[in-house]
Amino acid sequence: MDDLDSAIIDVLRTDGRISFSELGRQIGLSTNATAARVRRLERSGVITGYRAILGSDAPVAEGGLEAFIDVRLDPARQSEEFLEWTRRIPEIRDAVHVTGAYDYLLHIRVAGTAALDRLLRSTKNDGGATHTQTRLALR
């Protein structure tokens, strides 16, 4: 990855439906060169997909709760399966494989305590977690 790839990713994070010609205009490449780079990023696994985020499901940009959730997976659950699940949850900003008593650390942002409760229940029921520990960010 180089600076142009990073610029492409920055734009696509904001607007995943942007046309190749508009994306190219914003980063200073031709339409064909931009399309080739996006396809290469997709093939290499840097870009794994695009999704629609509904207004009711979107994480709160400011306000709400920011938290970190330690997750211990069921031993029968595969890490790749868990990571695929996290990519489908818009409130999960990052999922990091860690050492220690837990398998993953999730960085999340939710609208409030009810949304946090739903996410924690889903992490266990759908994500395959056996144990979680949540820490709220106070900043």
**pLDDT score of 102:** 97
Neighbours of 12 (CB within 10 A): 16
Among residues 69, 62, 50, which one has the least CA distance to residue 108? 69
Q: Write out the H or E segment, with its range, that includes residue 66.
A: strand 65-73
The number of angstroms, rounded, from the C-alpha of 21 to the middle of its chain's C-alpha atoms is 26
* Average confidence score pLDDT of the chain: 90
Angle in degrees, CA 90, 126, 107, rounded to 5: 40
- What are the tens digits of pLDDT across the range 9-57? 989 988 889 999 999 999 999 999 999 999 999 999 889 888 776 665 5
pTM of the predicted model as reported, rounded to 2 decimal places: 0.58
**pLDDT score of 14:** 83
Neighbours of 134 (CB within 10 A): 16
Distance CA(72)–CA(49), nearest Å, equals 26
